[in-house]
Chain A
């Protein structure tokens, strides 16, 4: 069994990871908290002074914050609904006996491996562009006026792009969960006269509950920080119509050089993410014991 010797060796082996991660978390977070209480603008060096909660007051009462918070929630909620429902549907479909199942699965999974800037630009230019885009051509051939997606429905357009990127992830996880379902259980239910709908509701869906929870939580973590897709398509606009919290903090820091205000925004984003994280850590921790 493990001796004191191996235990101290183990501690030594863990040390680099633990120390580095601790530094990575504590140092920037500590600095962000510190900056958030300062009046600190990169354009006015040497003028830093303590301002208490003023940055938070400005950030939280800024109309842009409300817009960004709403957009963040809409973006997360919209993408989640599309990917969860679509993911379950695709997983059920791919779980059926079909010809060339492996190839279809490869096609469906592909968008996940496309880097965010590429997928955003391809959608923006080649599909959503009101003049040269494929969607414009489709609507013109049906006699409708083409829609300028990113100008008239910017947030929804970004939701579509991001959902396209995350649908594969949801599908893959749901499919993995579905394939671990005991076929005999379904067969038994079928023999007892349960229809397809009740089989889905009472056997398949409960079995997938954990996979669904995992998808919701993990996607939420990533979706709260959507950035590249907004940067290359709309720059958060028009106005603040497609600005989320991440983009707002970025704009405040690196475009307006307001380090204090942006830091306060960063802390607000951290708090928001932590609320989600608590649930996720609990779920995975519980799973670790099982």
Chain B
């Protein structure tokens, strides 16, 4: 119930919350500001927070210095590719588990969840060797395959928790009216499932975009997505704060915006439905 709160208390609480919120957000804000400085201003002491010569030259130079756009596209292709491929494989499975559950459905779900718990180092060596021998190292195809597989359990689970909420009676009615299984999926289930699928899509693009174990280990230059490309700035000759900031800003901006729209789905997706 709406409780009466004194304005004074609300003001104090707001001040505390805003201060802490801005502190937490500050590294991102600082990166954004630094990306518009010259390299000299970026390392100047004392640092200037707003009053410096704003420039966008870093954004152009990041592209010149290394093919930024290529890596950006690698990220786009790998995260979208693995997400769509994952959905294609997972939608039928989640549908089957949600609407014709058997005694073993729960066991299958739990088993899928358990595959997600295997630490990646347990699989790193064989996957690296298989990729090396199969010519998949540093290819977009290889990264799409691995990211599809590591996110598949989350995709199945998320879709399952959304599909579970679709009332089964509607499907029964469609079946009674003589709808075949494919028709049932296309005309009845899909329209109701779209919001759940969209949420799953969003969360998985975010997760794949930021995945940094497999992308770092399985890509070098050609297929390196932004995670691996940004890591190249850790070498001493790459100590250009303004350019690092520009490259980082472009790498995180799209996902940050998507992420803000998917707060709720994030909770559901990452807790496997345990917290809603």
Write the residues of chain A forming the contact surface with B, with a CB cutoff of 8 angstroms.
Answer: 2, 6-7, 9-11, 13-14, 16-18, 20-21, 24-25, 27-29, 31-32, 35, 90, 93-94, 96-101, 103-119, 121-127, 131-132, 134, 137, 140-141, 164, 167-169, 172-173, 176-177, 183-184, 187, 210-211, 214, 218, 221, 224-225, 227-228, 231-233, 245-246, 249-250, 253-254, 259, 262-263, 265-267, 269-270, 272-274, 276-277, 280-281, 283-285, 287-288
Contacts and interface: CB of A to CB of B under 8 A. Distances in A.
Looking at A21, A115, A285, the one whose CB has the most chain B CB atoms below 10 A away is: A115
Contact of B13 (A97, A105, A140, A232): A97
Contacts of B122: 28-29, 32, 266-267, 269-270, 273
A2 B271 contact: no
Looking at A17, A132, A183, the one whose CB has the most chain B CB atoms below 10 A away is: A17
B1 interface: yes
Interface in B228-260: 228, 230-231, 233-234, 239, 241, 244-245, 248, 251-252, 255-256, 258-260
12 contacts: A17-B92, A32-B125, A111-B27, A115-B226, A117-B230, A121-B244, A125-B244, A183-B1, A232-B231, A280-B117, A281-B113, A287-B274
Contact of A93 (B16, B93, B99, B228): B16
Nearest to A247: B121
A249 B124 contact: yes
A18 B108 contact: yes
Contacts of B34: 126
Contacts of A249: 121, 124
B178 interface: no
Contacts, number: 310
Given A14-B93, A176-B267, A285-B110, A115 B230 contact: yes
Contact of B248 (A29, A122, A167, A221): A122
Interface string B96-111: 1101101000101110
Interface in B77-134: 89-90, 92-93, 95-97, 99-100, 102, 106, 108-110, 112-129
B231 A231 contact: yes
B45 A98 contact: no
Contact of B149 (A21, A110, A112): A21
A284 B157 CA distance: 12
Contacts of A93: 13, 16-17, 20
B45 A126 contact: no
B128 A227 contact: no
B117 A277 contact: yes
Given A31-B129, A254-B217, 9 more contacts: A21-B152, A98-B13, A100-B18, A113-B252, A114-B28, A116-B212, A117-B216, A228-B227, A273-B119
Looking at B121, B153, B226, the one whose CB has the most chain A CB atoms below 10 A away is: B121
A276 to B, nearest CB: 7
A164 B216 contact: no
A99 to B, nearest CB: 4
Contacts of A121: 230-231, 233-234, 244, 248
Contacts of A100: 14, 18
B251 A118 contact: yes
A8 to B, nearest CB: 10
B115 A25 contact: yes
Contacts of B112: 17-18, 21
Interface of B: 1, 3, 5, 10-11, 13-14, 16-18, 20-22, 24-25, 27-28, 30-31, 34, 43, 45-47, 89-90, 92-93, 95-97, 99-100, 102, 106, 108-110, 112-129, 149-150, 152-153, 156, 181, 206, 209-210, 212-213, 216-217, 226-228, 230-231, 233-234, 239, 241, 244-245, 248, 251-252, 255-256, 258-260, 263-264, 266-267, 270-276
Contact of A24 (B5, B115, B231, B244): B115
Contacts of B256: 110, 113-114
Contacts of A14: 92-93, 96-97, 108
Contacts of B258: 113
A131 B239 CA distance: 12
A274 B118 CA distance: 7
Contact of A6 (B11, B21, B100): B100
Contacts of A112: 259, 266
Contacts of B251: 115, 118
Contact of A273 (B22, B118, B244): B118
A99 B90 contact: no
B274 A109 contact: no
A24 B90 CA distance: 15
A86 to B, nearest CB: 9
Contacts of A169: 266, 270
Given A113-B206, A270-B118, A126 B30 contact: yes
A280 B52 CA distance: 51
Nearest to A290: B274
